[in-house]
Structure 1
Amino acid sequence: MKLSSIISDGMVIQRDKMITISGESTSLQQIHLIFGEKQYETTADQEGNWIVKLDPMEAGGPYQMTIEGDDKLVINDILVGDVWVLAGQSNMEIPINRTLDLLEADVESIHNPQIRHFKVPQEYSFHDEKEYLANGQWKSAISDDKMHFSAAGYFFAEKMYEKYGVPIGLIETAVGGTPIEAWISEETLREFGGYEEELEKCKDDIYIEETIMEDENRNEEWYGKLNAADAGIQNRWFEDSVNTEGWSDFDVPNSWEGTELERVKGAVWFRTEFDLPESMVEGVDQGAKLKLGTIVDADDTYVNGTLVGNTGYRYPPRRYSIPEGVLRPGKNSIAVRVITTQSTGEFIKDMPYKLLVDGEELDLQGKWKYKIGVQTEALQPQVFFRNMASGLFKGMIAPLRNYTINGVLWYQGESNAANPSGYSKLFHALVSDWRKYWNLGEFPFIFTQLANFRTDDEKPEESTWADFREEQRKSLENPHTAMASAIDLGEYNDLHPQDKKTLGQRYALCAMKLAHDEDIVYSGPLFKKMERKGNEIHVSFDHVGSGLTAHDGDLKWFRISGEDGQFVPAEAVIKGKNSVVVSGKDVHRPQHVRYAWADNPEGANLYNLEGLPASPFTTE
C-alpha cells in the first residue's frame, strides 16, 4: 500500500467539500476505507491505482482513518477544516524563527494545535508530473515545531482561526529564488511560447547530471583552495589571543565598497574585543546570543576561540547562541571570517550588532580590526535547475492536485522583478493552470504585491520594481483574486522583511472576503481613473473604505508629468472620500500621475481609514 506522504498523521482535510484519497496497491486489490462513521470501498485498477471520494464533512476532529487492502494503514489525529496552499519563493518560505528580532514576543505565546503545517519536499521534475510525495510531515503550531512554519502563513492562519474557530491546514510549497516560470505547467508554457529550448534541454538527464557535477567539483575545488591558502586558518586567527598589531581598521557595520577590500574575493578576518560588564556576568548562565546583522556573503564566527555559528550565504540574519562557559568576566574576543564569493563584501547597515545576555545588551558597532586571509578569483555561479521552466510545477504542485484545498496564498516576484514586462500574463497563466489542475472551480487566489526594498541600482525614474508592482496590480483582472500590498512592510536593507504578522493579517482580510464573502474592507485603495482639469489631475480610487487618509502629514511620493513626459515631484491633496488632486508647480498641461513609483518608496502614506495602504500605480 502506497500513499502520498501528505496523507498522514496530523493532516487537515478541507471541510464541506468532497475529498479525494488516492493510493497504490496491488493490481485489482479491494480497498476498504473507514473514516468517521462512514465506510467506503473501491477496487484498484490493473496498475494498482485506486481512488476513494469521501463525502463532505463539517469542521471538527480529531478523527482516525483506516485503509485496508493488501496492507492495513491507520492515520491518526486528522482534523477537518480549511486548507490553504502557501506558494512562491523565499518570502513565503521564511520561517517564524527568522522573524524573532521583530516578533519574538508574539512567537513566545504561540500554542495552537489546531493550526497545522506541511512542507512539500523541494524537488523538481522535468519528465513526468509527480503523483506522490515521498517525504514530509504534518506539524502542529506548538513547541519547537512552530518555529519552522512559514511565518506569513502562520499569522494568516492565526487570524483565520481567531475569526472562525476552524482548524487550518497550511501546505507550504515554496522555494527561494524561483521565477514564476518554474511553477507553470509545461503544456501552458508551450502554449505561451518562448520556453521550448529550456524545456527540451532540461529533459536531458545526462546534461543535468554533468552540470550538477561540474558545479559541485568547482565549488569543492574553490573552497578547498581557499581553506588551504587562508593565512587566518593556518595561523589560527580565530583563537582567543591574537596579536592584531599591523591589522587595519574597519567600521562595523559598513560595505567594503570604497575600501581596499572592494574587489577582494576570498576570506577576510575581522576581530574585536569587548569587556563583559559585571551586570551581565551572572546572566551568562541563562544563555547569551550574538547578533551580527547580515553579512555578504558567508561567515564563520568565533567567540573566545569557539565557533558559535556559520552561515553559507548572504540573506539569513546572523543570530548565534553562545554556549555556556564560553563568555567570561572581563576581556572577550570575537573573530569573524567573512567569505566573499561573487559580491562586494558587507556588514549590512541598520541592523543589530550586539551581544544579548539575560535582557541586557552590549553594542558591538565601531572600529574592528581586519586582515586579508586569502584573495582569490570569484567563484563562478552555479546552475539552479529548480529555477528552470515547469520543473517545480511537476515536482511540487502536480502531487497536490488531488488534495482538496480552499485557496492559495502566493508570494513571489523578486526573481522576475528585473524583467517585469509580461508578468501579469504569466500570472494569469499560472492561476488558470492551477485551477484547471485542482478542478475545484475559481478558488481564491491571494497574492502579495512586493514590499519596498532598496535594490543595488535604485533609480526612481527607471524602477523595475515599480513596473513589476504595476504588473501585479493588473493581475487583479483575474477573477476571484485579491492583492495584499506589502509596500509599507519592507526593510530597505533586507529582501526578507520580518513583519510577516501584518502581511498574514492582510492575507486573512482577503480570504475573509473571497472565501467567506464577508462584507469588509479587505484591500487598500486601488487606482480607478483619472481626469485632467486645467493644471490638475484628479485621481479616483476603489477600495477606499470609510475614506482616504494621509498618514503622518501631507501626502508623499506623488509625481506628475507634463507634455515632455518627465515626472517631477507633485503636490497632492485628498478631496472628498475617494479622490486625490495632483498638481505640479511648473507643470501646466499635466498628462500623468505616478504614486510610490520607486524600488523603495519608504514613507508612501496614502491609506484608507481602515489602515490599508494604497497600491503604487501609474496612470499611463
Structure 2
Amino acid sequence: IKNIGLINTSWGGTPAEAWTTLETLKSDPDYAPILQRDTNPDDIRAKLEAKFGKLVTAETDRGKLFGDTRMVTEGWAGAEVDAAKWETMELPKAWEQAGLEIDGLVWFRKQIDLPQDWAGKDLTLELTPIDDYDIAYFNGQKIGQMGLDTNNSWQTPRVYSIPGSLVKAGQNIIAVRVFDTGGGGGITPTNDPMRIRPKDASAEQARDLKGPWQYRIEAISAIASSGEQNNPARLYNAMIDPIVKAPIKGAIWYQGESNAGRAYQYRKLFADMIRDWRRAWKVGDFSFYFVQLANFMDQQPQPGDSAWAELREAQTMTLSLKNTGMAVIIDVGDAKDIHPRDKQTVGYRLAQIALARDYGRKIEYSGPMYKSMKVEGSAIRLSFDHIGGGLMAKDGDLVGFSIAGSDKKFVWAKARIDGDSVVVSSEQVAQPAAVRYAWADNPQCNLYNKEGLPASPFRTDDWPGVTAENK
C-alpha cells in the first residue's frame, strides 16, 4: 500500500496572478497592468489623496453606513458639485477594473436630460447589482437603499421608485453612494438592465444609463489593506514555493471567479501559472486537474454576453496543455451562493479524471466536449468528443442552445440529438453562422453523455467578448 497524502494550500477569493511567479509576470508585456496594480495601503491612500483630497477612514460598523453623511449636505447628491474633484468611470464595471483598488465608500453621479412629458411622473430606476450596499438619490433626495437587511445584496439588481414630485424636464441628477466591504466593489456588470423609465412604460421607452458616470471617493475603509494576498506572486511565494520539495503526483485547482472580469487574459495566465508550478517541482508535466466555474447568479431570459462564460472558455482552452483535465460542474451551482454546497459531485468528477488518466481505469471521465460544426442549410450540426455511450438530453428536450447569423444577434434555438451529433436551428435565423451552448453566468442546459457527465459550455464563434480588452 502506497502512502498517499494531500496538501491543502489555498486562499479563497484570490486571482491566479497571486499564485504565479513574479518572473513569469515580468516576462510578458501583457501582464504589465497586473504589475502596475499597487495594493500597498499607504501607497493607495497617498495616490488617491493627491487626486481627491484628504480621505477619511470609513466606519467599519456596517450598520452605520446609512447614517447621516456630510457629503449629502455638501451637495454630492444634487446638481452643484466641483467637477474638478470628480473622475469618470464607465459603468457598469467593478471599480477594481477601473484601477480603483480600494474598499470603502464611493459616490457615483450621472446627469440625464428628461423630456417634458416625463415631468411630474413617477419613474423607475433600474441598476445592475451593487457590491455591496448602496443608497440612491434623485435630484438630491433619497429614493432607496439596499444593505444589511438583504441577503446577497452584492448580487441583487436594484429597482428604485422615483416620486413624480422630484422629476422635472431637462437636467436631472442620479447619485448612488456605494459601500464595498471587501473584495470587488461598485456597480457591477451583468445582463441586468441599467436604465430609467416612467413607472408604467415599456422597456423600449427607457433611457439607457450605461456609459460614463462621475465618481468620487468619500472614504477608504479600515479593511482596504486586506487585499495584500491578491498582489502578484504573493501567494506563490508564501504558499507554493515553501512546499516544492515535497513529492508530487498531481494538483487539483478550483479558482477563476476572481479573474472572470479578465477572462481573455486568463487564457494565457492560467496556463503560465501551471507551467510555473511544473518548473518549480522539476518532475516533469505532473497531472493538473481543475474545476470549471459552476453556474451562478440569476438566470437570464435571453441569450447574451457573460464574463463567467468567457472564463469557462479560457479554462477549456487550458486543456491544450499536456496532462490537464477539467471537471465540468455547470449543473451543481447555486444562483445565490458562489460556493456550491454539493462538494461530493465535484470531487467525484475530479476523481474520474485521475482514475482514467493516472490509474488506467477504462472509464469515460468527461462530458461531451465541442469538436466541430458544419452548416447544413438553415441549421448547424455540432460534433463532440467524449460522447461515451452516446449523447442524451436530461429531463426533457435539449435546452441551452442559441444561434446567430452573421449579424451576431443570438436567439434561442431548437436542438435535437442526431446520432453522435446535435442539430441546431431557429426559424428566426435563415443563414446561421454560430451556435452557443450554456453561454451565460447561470445557464439552463441539459446535454449529457450516457455516463451522466454534463457537456462543457462552448461557442463556435470567436467574436470579441465583454472581457476582451480587460487587463
- What is the TM-score with the length of structure 1 in the denominator? 0.48
Summarize deviations over 1:485-524 as a string: whole Å, max 9, x none: 1111111111111111111111110111222122111011
> Which one of 561, 586, 590 corresponds to residue 404 of structure 2?
561
**Distance of aligned partners of 1:219 and 1:475 in 2 relative to their CA distance in 1, 3 Å threshold:** farther
2:20 is equivalent to residue 179 of structure 1: no
> Which one of 569, 587, 595 corresponds to residue 429 of structure 2?
587
**Distance of aligned partners of 1:196 and 1:562 in 2 relative to their CA distance in 1, 3 Å threshold:** closer
| 1:372-521 to 2 correspondences below 5 Å | 380=221, 382-383=224-225, 384-454=227-297, 460-521=303-364
**Is the contact between residue 286 and residue 323 of structure 2 (CA under 8 Å) also seen in structure 1?**
yes
Task: Give, in angstroms, the shift of residue 193 of structure 1.
Answer: 2.4
Q: Distance in 1 between matches of 2:240 and 2:56?
A: 31
Q: Could you tell me which residue of structure 1 aligns to residue 59 of structure 2?
A: 222
Q: Which has the higher contact order (CA 8 A, sep 6+)?
A: 2
Summarize deviations over 1:209-248 as a string: whole Å, max 9, x none: 999xxxxxx99761379769989xxxxxxxxxxxxxxxxx
Task: Give, in angstroms, the shift of residue 484 of structure 1.
Answer: 0.2
Q: Could you tell me which residue of structure 2 aligns to residue 546 of structure 1?
A: 389
**Distance of aligned partners of 1:496 and 1:197 in 2 relative to their CA distance in 1, 3 Å threshold:** closer
Q: How many residues align?
A: 333
2:34 is equivalent to residue 191 of structure 1: no
Q: Supply the AA of the counterpart residue of 2:13.
A: G
Task: Give, in angstroms, the shift of residue 472 of structure 1.
Answer: 1.2
SS of equivalent to 1:408:
strand
Q: Distance in 2 between matches of 1:228 and 1:391?
A: 32
Task: Give, in angstroms, the shift of residue 590 of structure 1.
Answer: 1.4
Q: Supply the AA of the counterpart residue of 2:458.
A: F
**Is the contact between residue 459 and residue 598 of structure 1 (CA under 8 Å) also seen in structure 2?**
no
**Distance of aligned partners of 1:403 and 1:207 in 2 relative to their CA distance in 1, 3 Å threshold:** farther
**Distance of aligned partners of 1:223 and 1:263 in 2 relative to their CA distance in 1, 3 Å threshold:** farther
Q: Could you tell me which residue of structure 1 aligns to residue 438 of structure 2?
A: 596
**Is the contact between residue 65 and residue 179 of structure 2 (CA under 8 Å) also seen in structure 1?**
no
**Is the contact between residue 458 and residue 599 of structure 1 (CA under 8 Å) also seen in structure 2?**
no
**Is the contact between residue 406 and residue 515 of structure 1 (CA under 8 Å) also seen in structure 2?**
no
| 1:202-217 to 2 correspondences below 5 Å | 207=43
Q: Supply the AA of the counterpart residue of 1:535.
A: S
Q: Distance in 2 between matches of 1:264 and 1:420?
A: 31
**Is the contact between residue 341 and residue 379 of structure 1 (CA under 8 Å) also seen in structure 2?**
no
Q: Supply the AA of the counterpart residue of 1:581.
A: V
Q: Supply the AA of the counterpart residue of 2:10.
A: A
Task: Give, in angstroms, the shift of residue 258 of structure 1.
Answer: 10
Task: Give, in angstroms, the shift of residue 199 of structure 1.
Answer: 4.5
Can you give the 5+ residue segments of structure 2 that lack an aligned partner in the other structure? 48-54, 69-129, 157-177, 187-217, 462-471
Aligned-residue identity in percent: 41
The worse-fitting range, judged by mean Cα deviation, of 219-228 and 543-552 is: 219-228
**Distance of aligned partners of 1:203 and 1:575 in 2 relative to their CA distance in 1, 3 Å threshold:** closer
Q: Could you tell me which residue of structure 2 aligns to residue 572 of structure 1?
A: 415
**Is the contact between residue 409 and residue 447 of structure 1 (CA under 8 Å) also seen in structure 2?**
yes
Larger radius of gyration, structure 1 or 2? 1
Q: Could you tell me which residue of structure 2 aligns to residue 610 of structure 1?
A: 451
SS of equivalent to 1:560:
strand
Can you give the 5+ residue segments of structure 1 that lack an aligned partner in the other structure? 1-57, 60-79, 82-168, 212-217, 232-254, 271-292, 298-313, 316-339, 345-376
Summarize deviations over 1:60-89 as a string: whole Å, max 9, x none: xxxxxxxxxxxxxxxxxxxx22xxxxxxxx
Q: Supply the AA of the counterpart residue of 1:222.
A: E
Task: Give, in angstroms, the shift of residue 593 of structure 1.
Answer: 0.9
Task: Give, in angstroms, the shift of residue 424 of structure 1.
Answer: 1.8
Task: Give, in angstroms, the shift of residue 406 of structure 1.
Answer: 1.4
**Is the contact between residue 195 and residue 389 of structure 1 (CA under 8 Å) also seen in structure 2?**
no
SS of equivalent to 2:370:
strand
**Is the contact between residue 341 and residue 378 of structure 1 (CA under 8 Å) also seen in structure 2?**
no
Q: Supply the AA of the counterpart residue of 1:184.
A: T
**Is the contact between residue 570 and residue 582 of structure 1 (CA under 8 Å) also seen in structure 2?**
yes
Q: Distance in 2 between matches of 1:411 and 1:550?
A: 27
Q: Distance in 2 between matches of 1:611 and 1:532?
A: 28
Q: Supply the AA of the counterpart residue of 2:224.
A: Q
Summarize deviations over 1:444-469 as a string: whole Å, max 9, x none: 11111111112699974121111111
**Distance of aligned partners of 1:414 and 1:404 in 2 relative to their CA distance in 1, 3 Å threshold:** same
Task: Give, in angstroms, the shift of residue 565 of structure 1.
Answer: 2.2
